[in-house]
């Protein structure tokens, strides 16, 4: 299977509307000396853990890149094996400490979270079947639950009736980044009794000489006013 460079979803963003959830992504925009970037992530939390997790997340001055755990990375898997290969499965049985959790530091036990996606890493070498970059895709567990299969020549998945279940998007200048959408009904089914928590966070910046920034920029950063975030539980106001 040949995977073309700059692989994109065969869906359009107009097709990905209320029936879909943005479950993983990163976007960055630069223009006229300004930059804004954001991470987007969907977490599954036990009902009793949801309130403590929200309090912890909203109480941080700066969540950084790692407070909301990154999705696992899959390496050495041929893109055509997505998502059915057992090598695509992530297990934490041998290392419970590696399970994704929300914690202030690594000395805390943390609050465990569930995830619905993984990062499919680029291949090594010059093979024509190697991806030219990494992509976020549904996890093995999620795909197996609904018997999803790959839509030819894409990384999108469809169900047994041929209905699209996921959509992968990548964009370039002036926006840069990628997005993974999953069908809302499937995510709700997969979550079961767990709460679906969607988080988005990032920074706003201006171009300055960082060795001698203007006072207002320094004050804004000291107060973390350049940081933005939005955290919500699905179907709750």
- The token pair that represents 196 in the structure block: 């679906």
* Pair 43, 23: CB distance under 8 Å: no
Tens of pLDDT along 139-188?
999 999 999 999 988 889 999 999 999 999 988 777 889 999 999 999 99
Tens of pLDDT along 19-60?
899 999 999 998 888 889 999 999 999 999 999 999 999 888
d(CA 228, CA 226): 7
* Pair 151, 80: CB distance under 8 Å: no
Tens of pLDDT along 192-224?
999 999 999 999 888 888 788 888 888 888 888
pTM of the model: 0.83
Query: Tokens 């279940």, residue?
Result: 165
Alpha helices in 14-151 (DSSP H): 47-58, 140-145
Percent of the chain beyond pLDDT 70? 84
CB atoms under 10 Å from CB of 74, counted, come to: 22
**Concatenated DSSP letters of 5-26:** TT---SS-TTTSSTTEEEEEEE
Q: Using DSSP bridges, classify how beta strands 73-74 and 117-120 pair: parallel, antiparallel or unpaired.
A: parallel
């Amino acid at each position: 299977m040949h995977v073309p460079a700059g692989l994109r979803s065969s869906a359009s963003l107009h097709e990905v509307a209320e029936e879909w959830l943005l479950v993983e992504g990163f976007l960055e925009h630069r223009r006229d000396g300004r930059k804004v970037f954001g991470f987007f992530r969907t977490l599954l939390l036990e009902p009793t853990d949801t309130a403590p997790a929200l309090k912890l997340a909203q109480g941080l001055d700066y969540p950084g890149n790692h407070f909301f755990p990154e999705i696992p990375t899959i390496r050495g898997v041929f893109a055509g094996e997505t998502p059915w290969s057992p090598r695509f499965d992530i297990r934490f049985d041998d290392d419970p400490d590696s399970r994704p959790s929300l914690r202030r530091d690594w000395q805390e036990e943390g609050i465990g979270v569930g995830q619905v996606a993984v990062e499919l890493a680029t291949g090594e070498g010059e093979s024509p079947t190697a991806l030219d970059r990494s992509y976020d895709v549904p996890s093995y567990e999620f795909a197996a639950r609904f018997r999803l299969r790959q839509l030819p020549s894409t990384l999108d998945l469809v169900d047994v009736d041929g209905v699209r279940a996921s959509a992968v998007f990548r964009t370039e200048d002036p926006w840069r980044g990628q997005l993974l959408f999953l069908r809302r009904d499937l995510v709700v089914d997969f979550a079961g009794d767990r709460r679906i928590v969607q988080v988005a966070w990032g920074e706003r910046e201006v171009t300055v000489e960082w060795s001698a920034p203007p006072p207002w920029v320094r004050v804004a950063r000291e107060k973390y006013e350049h940081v933005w975030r939005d955290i919500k539980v699905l179907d709750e106001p």
